[in-house]
Amino acid sequence: MPSYHEVRLYLSGLWLLVKGDAQGFRLLDISNRGITRSFWAYLWCVPAMAVSWGWMRLSFLQASPPETRAGFPFFLRLAMIEAINWIVPLILIGALCLLLGLARKFPAIVVAMNWLSVPFAYVSAVLMLGVTLLPGASHLFAVLEMALLFAGVACSSRILRLICGPETLTVTAMVLLLFVPDWLLTVVLQQYLGISFN
């Protein structure tokens, strides 16, 4: 598992990429080993996910009959949804890379997008904690959550543009594959697994 120092280095590289500085790639490990290790980002996100899951559990119980329980199986289902949402967009982007002859770009995309998930997971967790502690300000936090989504799209677009070049259609397609399946799968799987709270 990458150390805290390594993760900070990766995030520094991502920040350079977001600012349009290709030197950020020098701080990322895009080797075969680096690709595998980038999936440790999921575990780095677990504490942040736990905060979000706590808010989801509270919302689920509030929207359910009083006798409803939401114990370990509830959190296991949420973890499964997170894992699926993590992997499926990368698989779709991999297929798109093969289709467009960009297979050599795929390792950098995987590494960058995996580690980019870490800071956004923690910012989202802070917002979920805010909603839980200050329910009267839920509209404000909803706006902030939307702003976070737009920030994620913008950061992903800038990084993908550095990786793939100034191909607007390609970058747009990849950004859509990153975000749209995530949203659709979340809605469908929550309904299917019986943990929807909307």
The answer to whether residue 198 scores a pLDDT higher than 80 is no
Average pLDDT value for residue range 92-104: 94
Q: How far is CA 27 from CA 157, 172, 175, 184, in A?
A: 19, 25, 23, 33
Domain ranges, residue 26: 4-192
**What tens digit of pLDDT does each residue of 117-160 get?**
999 999 999 998 888 888 788 789 889 999 999 999 999 999 99
**In the block, which residue shows the tokens 């390792």?**
107
Q: What is the pLDDT of residue 70?
A: 78
Kindly state whether residue 198 falls inside one of the protein's structural domains: no
DSSP-based three-state secondary structure for 112: helix
The most distant pair of C-alpha atoms in the chain lies apart, rounded to whole Å, by 56
**What tens digit of pLDDT does each residue of 156-192 get?**
999 999 999 888 999 999 999 999 999 999 889 888 8
Average pLDDT value for residue range 41-62: 89
Kindly state whether residue 64 falls inside one of the protein's structural domains: yes
Count structural domains, the chain: 1
Kindly state whether residue 25 falls inside one of the protein's structural domains: yes
Kindly state whether residue 92 falls inside one of the protein's structural domains: yes
The answer to whether residue 68 scores a pLDDT higher than 90 is no
The answer to whether residue 50 scores a pLDDT higher than 80 is yes
The 3-state secondary structure of 30-69, one letter per residue: CCHHHHHHHCCHHHHHHHHHHHHHHHHHHHHHHCCCCCCC
Q: What is the pLDDT of residue 133?
A: 85
CA angle, corner 38, sides to 24 and 22, nearest 5?
Answer: 15
Kindly state whether residue 158 falls inside one of the protein's structural domains: yes
- Structural contact between residues 60 and 137, judged by C-beta atoms closer than 8 angstroms: no
Measured CA to CA, the distance from residue 86 to residue 38 in angstroms comes to: 12
pTM of the model: 0.89
Kindly state whether residue 197 falls inside one of the protein's structural domains: no
Kindly state whether residue 49 falls inside one of the protein's structural domains: yes
Kindly state whether residue 72 falls inside one of the protein's structural domains: yes
3-state helix vs strand vs coil in the chain, percent to 5: 85, 0, 15
